[in-house]
Amino acid sequence: MEATAALPAWRANLATIAAMMARARNELVRVPGAAIPGVLAPTIFFLGLNGVFGALIQLSGFDANTYEAFIVPISMLQGAGFTGAAAGVNMARDIEQGWLDRLLVSPAPRWVLLAGTVLGASTRALLPATFVLAIALALGAGFPGLDGLFVTYAMVMAMAAVAACWGSFLALRFKTQSAAPLMQAGMMALILLTPAYAPLALLQGWLQDVADLNPVTEVVEAARQGFVGTVTWADTWPGLVAVAGLLALLGALALRELRRTGR
């Protein structure tokens, strides 16, 4: 006890975050089935979309060599979205089972509890992303280069954090796992209302307008650049700004709900 009390606040906070991340990791090891939907869904979407819409590459204006290369960043981001939403579902389960109440009476600040959940989701998102990428590379999507890979993974982890904030916000708001479809559908819409299936110029009118306004379009373009061309700072920084903005907004909403919880 004395040793814990002697810990500086920042170290205690880091230890709490690490413990919550370890809990998320342990679930993967102890309940492997829990990770299957997050891995399976983006893989099915990747293989399915490629098999169904692969001929779109023949349209003039497509800026990729293969449809696999064009679509794989979307599937990786979808995996991140599902993983983040799953973090929200897990939080709702923790609320239903009373586990969150126990966390709330601990001396850990609320933002630390949220950070542990969000960073846990970011780390877990690496699993579906790597699985889908391996399949895509095996099917002929070109290697995006180390810089391209780095940017794609950074965007995947950031989107998982965004999705976890969204999921946590809804979990804290509705306090039930029944909100799961809303968590998943929200992220699915955010990621697919972008140039997901075709370049911006080839989208139909309304979707082009929505994609223009959707900040995740910048995330998609940043994640995709290594697969369809070369990585540039000009295509990277808008993605970073977009995820930072989304994290700030959804993180603030989730934190506000967490602060209200139990009061």
Partner 1 sequence: MSSLATNIRVVRALGLRSIRQTFRRPQLIAPIIVFPTLLLAIQTGGAGGAVELPGFPPVQSFLQFMLAGAMMQALMLAGNSGGIALAVDIEMGFTDRLFAAPIPRFAIVLGRLAGTAALGLFAALWFLAIGLIFGAEIESGVPGALLAIFLVTTAAMAVGGIGAAIALRTGSASVVQGLFPLVLVVLFVSSAFFPVDLMIEPAKTIAEYNPLSLVVEGIREPIIAEIDAADTLYAVLAILGIVVFGLLLSARALRHRLRVG
CB of 6 to partner 1, least distance (A): 45
45 is a contact residue toward partner 1 (CB under 8 A): yes
**Interface pick for partner 1 out of 21, 95, 135, 207 (rule CB under 8 A):** 207
59 is a contact residue toward partner 1 (CB under 8 A): yes
| Residue 180, amino acid | A
**Interface pick for partner 1 out of 12, 28, 40, 104 (rule CB under 8 A):** 40
The count of residues interacting with partner 1 (CB under 8 A) is 38
| CB atoms inside a 10 Å sphere around CB 105 | 8
d(CA 27, CA 44): 23
CB of 37 to partner 1, least distance (A): 7
Q: Specify burial of residue 144 (Cβ count, 10 A radius: 0-12, 13-18, 19+).
A: buried
Residue closer to partner 1, measured from CB, 19 or 59: 59
d(CA 29, CA 33): 9
What do you get for the CA distance between the two ends of the chain, in Å? Answer: 27
User: In sequence order, which residues have a C-beta less than 8 Å from that of residue 218 and are 6 or more positions away?
Assistant: 238, 239, 241, 242
**Interface pick for partner 1 out of 2, 6, 10, 206 (rule CB under 8 A):** 206
Per-residue contact flags (x/-) with partner 1 for residues 84 to 103, judged by CB under 8 A = --------------------
Residue closer to partner 1, measured from CB, 12 or 40: 40
Report the SS3 class of residue 258: helix
Per-residue contact flags (x/-) with partner 1 for residues 163 to 202, judged by CB under 8 A = ---------------x-xxx--x--xx--xx-xxxx---x
Helix, strand, coil percentages (3-state) for the chain, rounded to 5, are: 85, 0, 15
* Positions in the binding site for partner 1 (CB under 8 A): 37, 40-41, 44-45, 47-56, 58-59, 67, 178, 180-182, 185, 188-189, 192-193, 195-198, 202-204, 206-208, 210
